[in-house]
Chain A
């Protein structure tokens, strides 16, 4: 395809620059408030900090109560919960998605539909029943309870994405392995999972995000600040009497940073993992 004229190239780049500025503007704003040593909301147009200090970050990181430092503990909670959600959510989803992609068992389509229908349940009504359930299982104030809830939240999207991807993988290899006497479980683990890496990466990231960003359920289930995850902590900087913007922004950046890094690292997989199913399926 030929390269368009210079003017067109220039306009296209100018448009990109403009859109990127608009996209980055609110993000820069968070950065500005995090770096300025004050708790008030900055007004005005310029998203560049007038003064740079790490005071807010220090304040957020060094929170503690009578039982000791809080932030490292809460960061650890968030990490563990999100990682466990990823692992559990993807394990549940991958086996189900594989079965649905390969075998034509009765009720398969209904099950596929049922998974997606759960996406339509409005979260508002779920919080209190879930609280009662977790209470029954003695899982309030426990990270395990959170992981179970988050993992099931992320399963439908994961099943849907993974099934699409598995559909695109050639069956010939698996059939050959079956003839060689491999069990279905062996085939799944040794052949299918390695081939499905891009899609697995995407759904793992999604499950991770579900857990990493959630605060409404977490705030309802957790009573002990040492069991809090980071989003609850962020929320506590926003009160009816005013917002500690400096701390909120610094906390936001600390919360967002790992996710942004993951996004950049997994970008390539995204494109493949998300859509391969859709294109060929």
Chain B
């Protein structure tokens, strides 16, 4: 106990110390998501700037996945940086959110880069570098880069055999589909908004399907990691990727522009993204920030970024480079379409990505994919519910409040209760700290989150819409009840998910525990220790590992199913049943150790004599289990089962990391669906919050039911 007290004092002392600011003298704070050479170049440039001006710049690398979300939460609340570096694609959305201030245009920049950053007659950031997709080829396999798609296909077909693939790229994502989409004359957002079901779109989808599926020149489900792996093994002749691809390559590589589409003679046009430095709204040092941003973008900053970071910089007056990759990016930029900045673009990405899942696995035709994309987009971009008057809700709230006061007064009239309250006065002190903490840090945030469900969030604007979200969700008015996008479909999947998981967790856990307590099992301690490992390792690590193990061509699971011969050919993420199984297997692996340990504990309390008596009476193994062990085990296991079911019901990590809801959202559970609404696509926080409230409601109903199931109050 003494040691514990020291520990307590030490940790409290440490926590009370304010987190010391690392640089005392107020530097410029810059957030970026660069890694490797680009990060080094940025640091070098910042150092040079400090030498010249004396202004210090503090660089903060933020994990890529969290970067945008961080900017969007921190800056509006005044906790953001002075500057941030990002691609220009979010310009529209970030203008809505007021994340940055405009800057004065500068000369000496490529016009297309400056134009991409202008909107509403103002320039919103200083351009730094250009990024586009390129065609990479392996000089050891390919003599010269092809100029047309027919040539590309012919060469790729000639080079494809059991080991090597002619072409590798992430065909199923809209960003990588864009070169063909633009080449066939389609646009993600045209002058009249998104028209995703045009003939041009269908032609482009058909071409993507040919490349990725019909021609058999590509591996299945190529992920970013597969790209670099195959290339480094000399097993990929052509790769379509961006300049970032190079950081993972350790072999010679050639970069060239994307080929001309043979069908219509038009060049394939990838998206052009202009990386820029933005001055954040509410910057502490706005003038210094603007000065640094301009300097970093100018020829002086650009030179360092080009030489050290291998960036295709936008500044024009710099020493030219002979770096072939930079030249290729600059050349391709002339034939590229700047990323649209319309705030609807995130809905288009989300819709196309979802529709294309089936396209590249051959599950849907080009025509069907275009229809799906348009349909998904219509749902994602539908109008927010009409604003509602808040008056009835105020009246309702007053009513509830009044009811509460009336109830308390009535209770107060109860003399017996008053007496008991006085008697137990001291008891409440014991519960108070935990109660207050829970109230402030759990109940209050949830109430705030729940209140958000009464508002609609679109384009940075909040409008009060009352209960419309709930009505929309529960009536499935947009989608119909049976569509995988409806609440009810997802609820059924979630229930199926919870029930199957628990059956497996409990079945395997109890089975192993029964086995492990037999005295004739050798090394019981060792088995037990090894079998709880899945519980001890953080689940976001192992879920990612499992996902890769389910890869159709290179995954260990299919290799095992081949029993030593040819690997099985199960495309795990192509259909609901297999994708669901992949999630289920992963979560079973994660979940059985908990049940095993709980059962082992419970079994200790069951006297073996009972069982032995039953055995003497000639009861079979099953009868002994059913009549003796289970009745004694059940009361101990029930709380764990019920708690486990709540955890499984909200098991976000596994769904998000393993199947990510695919194919086409069919394996999404309620919580992951809510997350998608909030954070991918259009930030429908209100809609997502309504989902969360409904999840809570479902679990609350379940807990009533669970108490009856357990035969006593558990929850």
Interface residues in chain A, defined as those with a beta carbon under 8 Å from any beta carbon in chain B? 1, 3-4, 9, 12-13, 15-16, 19-20, 22-27, 29-30, 39-41, 43-45, 47, 65-67, 80, 83-84, 87, 91-93, 95-96, 98-100, 103-106, 109, 111, 113-126, 128-133, 135, 140-144, 147-149, 151-153, 155-157, 159-160, 164, 184, 189, 193-194, 212-213, 215, 219-220, 223-227, 231-232, 234-236, 238-243, 245, 248, 252, 255-256, 259-260, 262-264, 267, 270-276, 278-280
Residues of A within 8 A of B245 (CB): 241
Looking at A111, A122, A160, A213, the one whose CB has the most chain B CB atoms below 10 A away is: A122
Q: Is the CB of A83 within 8 A of B23?
A: no
CA of A140 to CA of B79 in the docked complex: distance in angstroms? 9
- Complex interface: stretch among B177-185, B440-448, B478-486: B440-448
The residue on B at minimum CB distance from A251 is B541
Residues of A within 8 A of B601 (CB): 270-276, 279
Distance between B311 CB and nearest chain A CB, rounded to angstroms: 15
Residues of A within 8 A of B12 (CB): 84
Identify A122's interface contact among B442, B537, B671, CB under 8 A. B671
Identify B441's interface contact among A29, A103, A133, CB under 8 A. A133
Known: A26-B546, A236-B61. 18 other contacts (CB 8 A): A1-B615, A13-B522, A26-B545, A45-B559, A47-B556, A99-B430, A111-B435, A121-B446, A122-B670, A124-B678, A124-B692, A128-B449, A223-B31, A252-B538, A276-B601, A279-B601, A279-B635, A279-B636
Distance between A99 CB and nearest chain B CB, rounded to angstroms: 4
**Could you list 18 examples of A-B contacts with CB < 8 Å?**
A23-B531, A25-B556, A26-B534, A41-B229, A43-B554, A65-B61, A80-B14, A84-B12, A84-B14, A117-B700, A120-B699, A125-B450, A142-B18, A220-B66, A224-B19, A232-B63, A232-B66, A262-B536
Q: Is the CB of B225 within 8 A of A105?
A: no
Given A45-B559, A219-B63, A105 and B512 touching (CB < 8 A)?
Answer: no
Instruction: Produce 1/0 per residue, B412-448, CB < 8 A to A.
Output: 0000010011001011101101110110111111101
Distance between B700 CB and nearest chain A CB, rounded to angstroms: 7
Given A155-B434, A223-B70, A275-B602, A122 and B674 touching (CB < 8 A)?
Answer: yes
The residue on A at minimum CB distance from B229 is A40
CA of A273 to CA of B598 in the docked complex: distance in angstroms? 9
Distance between B41 CB and nearest chain A CB, rounded to angstroms: 14
CA of A264 to CA of B535 in the docked complex: distance in angstroms? 12
Residues of B within 8 A of A16 (CB): 515, 521, 527
Given A128-B449, A194-B1, A45 and B61 touching (CB < 8 A)?
Answer: no
Chain A CB within 8 A of B104 CB: no
* CB contacts between A and B, total, < 8 Å: 366
Identify B446's interface contact among A12, A103, A126, CB under 8 A. A126
Chain A CB within 8 A of B144 CB: no
Q: Is the CB of B692 within 8 A of A84?
A: no
A interface majority secondary structure: helix
Given A92-B437, A238-B544, A242-B248, A125 and B449 touching (CB < 8 A)?
Answer: yes
Identify B533's interface contact among A29, A189, A231, A260, CB under 8 A. A260
CA of A161 to CA of B170 in the docked complex: distance in angstroms? 48
CA of A142 to CA of B16 in the docked complex: distance in angstroms? 10
Distance between A66 CB and nearest chain B CB, rounded to angstroms: 7
Given A12-B515, A95-B434, A271-B597, A241 and B602 touching (CB < 8 A)?
Answer: no
Q: Is the CB of B427 within 8 A of A240?
A: no
Identify B427's interface contact among A3, A105, A259, CB under 8 A. A105
Residues of B within 8 A of A236 (CB): 61-64
- Complex interface: stretch among B92-100, B321-329, B605-613: B605-613
Q: Is the CB of A279 within 8 A of B602?
A: yes
- Complex interface: stretch among B111-119, B193-201, B393-401, B637-645: B637-645
Given A80-B11, A270-B601, A252 and B541 touching (CB < 8 A)?
Answer: yes
Identify B437's interface contact among A9, A66, A151, CB under 8 A. A151
Distance between B450 CB and nearest chain A CB, rounded to angstroms: 7
Q: Is the CB of B703 within 8 A of A120?
A: yes
Distance between A119 CB and nearest chain B CB, rounded to angstroms: 5
The residue on A at minimum CB distance from B18 is A142
Q: Is the CB of A118 within 8 A of B549?
A: no
Chain A CB within 8 A of B604 CB: yes
CA of A142 to CA of B62 in the docked complex: distance in angstroms? 17
Residues of A within 8 A of B675 (CB): 124
Q: How large is the interface on B (under 10, 10 to 19, 20 to 34, 35 or more residues)?
A: 35 or more
Closest 8 CB pairs of A and B: A125-B449, A275-B601, A99-B430, A105-B424, A236-B63, A129-B445, A120-B699, A129-B448
Identify A106's interface contact among B79, B424, B438, CB under 8 A. B424
Identify B608's interface contact among A1, A3, A130, A263, CB under 8 A. A1
The residue on B at minimum CB distance from A45 is B559
Q: Is the CB of A226 within 8 A of B537?
A: no
Q: Is the CB of B22 within 8 A of A80?
A: no
Q: Is the CB of B64 within 8 A of A125?
A: no
Given A23-B531, A113-B715, A131-B73, A263 and B229 touching (CB < 8 A)?
Answer: no
Chain A CB within 8 A of B390 CB: no
Residues of A within 8 A of B442 (CB): 118, 121, 126, 152-153
Residues of B within 8 A of A100 (CB): 431
Q: Is the CB of A235 within 8 A of B643?
A: no
Q: Is the CB of B434 within 8 A of A159?
A: yes
CA of A178 to CA of B228 in the docked complex: distance in angstroms? 71
Q: Is the CB of B535 within 8 A of A263?
A: yes
CA of A25 to CA of B537 in the docked complex: distance in angstroms? 13
Given A26-B549, A116-B703, A119-B643, A219 and B696 touching (CB < 8 A)?
Answer: no
Residues of A within 8 A of B615 (CB): 1
Q: Is the CB of B536 within 8 A of A120?
A: no
Which residues of B in the span 656-696 have a Cβ within 8 Å of any Cβ on A? 670-671, 674-675, 678, 685, 688-689, 692, 695-696
Residues of B within 8 A of A256 (CB): 536-538, 541
The residue on A at minimum CB distance from B436 is A92
Distance between B133 CB and nearest chain A CB, rounded to angstroms: 12
Distance between A210 CB and nearest chain B CB, rounded to angstroms: 11
Residues of A within 8 A of B452 (CB): 125, 129
Identify A103's interface contact among B427, B612, B635, CB under 8 A. B427
Identify A115's interface contact among B31, B438, B604, B696, CB under 8 A. B438
Which residues of B in the span 629-654 have a Cβ within 8 Å of any Cβ on A? 635-640, 643, 646-647, 650, 652
The residue on B at minimum CB distance from A142 is B19
Chain A CB within 8 A of B708 CB: no
Instruction: Produce 1/0 per residue, B53-81, CB < 8 A to A.
Output: 00000111111111001100110010101
Chain A CB within 8 A of B7 CB: yes
Given A23-B530, A23-B589, A238-B65, A30 and B635 touching (CB < 8 A)?
Answer: no
Chain A CB within 8 A of B154 CB: no
Chain A CB within 8 A of B391 CB: no
CA of A248 to CA of B541 in the docked complex: distance in angstroms? 9
Q: Is the CB of B541 within 8 A of A225?
A: no
Residues of B within 8 A of A92 (CB): 433-434, 437
Residues of A within 8 A of B636 (CB): 275, 278-279
Residues of B within 8 A of A83 (CB): 7, 11
Q: Is the CB of A19 within 8 A of B531?
A: yes
Distance between A209 CB and nearest chain B CB, rounded to angstroms: 9
Q: Is the CB of B637 within 8 A of A20?
A: no
Looking at B33, B248, B445, B533, the one whose CB has the most chain A CB atoms below 10 A away is: B445
Q: Is the CB of A280 within 8 A of B605?
A: yes
Given A124-B678, A133-B444, A279-B636, A148 and B703 touching (CB < 8 A)?
Answer: no
